[in-house]
Amino acid sequence: MLRVQIHEATPADAPGISPLLVSLGYPASNDFVRSKLQGLAAGPDDRVFVAAIDGELVGVLSFHRIPLFHAPGYAGRITALAVRPDRWRSGIGRALIEAAEEFAWSHDCARVEVTSGDHRAVAHAFYEHLGYQADERRFLKRRPA
């Protein structure tokens, strides 16, 4: 069994996080990731968790707490989850999700949601295995160029 350690990311983790985001298809330089981590660290509603094995980063999850207007509490949203492909099916993703849920439940979130592209069937099966259900339809409009 692997010994996975989860901690909140710091700007020093940027070089380990960048390739994980690239594996999802998001170009992310070390400077970009470092800047995002510094910006998110200032607020109480955002967390980035990283998973490490023997000091090497092998996974990342970003989480955001959003106040609900129509109901009490907050919605928690996982906006990115990446695990190094050679470490899939080793409990890393589950450990990252558990860290996010622990933060969510202890910070008045009524639910946790995750958005996953239609082309990510393996990810969908993973989320369903952890008790997540397809529930709503999301509509998206991008800002004009």
Give the C-alpha separation, 105 to 10, whole Å. 23
Distance CA 50, CA 52 (A): 7
Helix, coil or strand: residue 114: strand
Whether 137 is covered by a domain: the verdict is: no
Task: Please report whether residue 26 resides in a domain.
Answer: yes
CA dist 73 and 125 (Å) reads 28
pTM: 0.89
Q: How many domains does the chain have?
A: 1
Assess contact for 92 and 83: CB atoms under 8 A. yes
| pLDDT attached to residue 80 | 94
Query: Residue 66 is part of a domain; what is its CATH number?
Result: 3.40.630.30
pLDDT tens figures, 103-130: 999 999 999 998 877 677 777 777 778 8
On whether residue 40 sits in a domain, the answer given is yes
CB 45 within 8 A of CB 1: no
Computed over every residue of the chain, the mean pLDDT equals 90
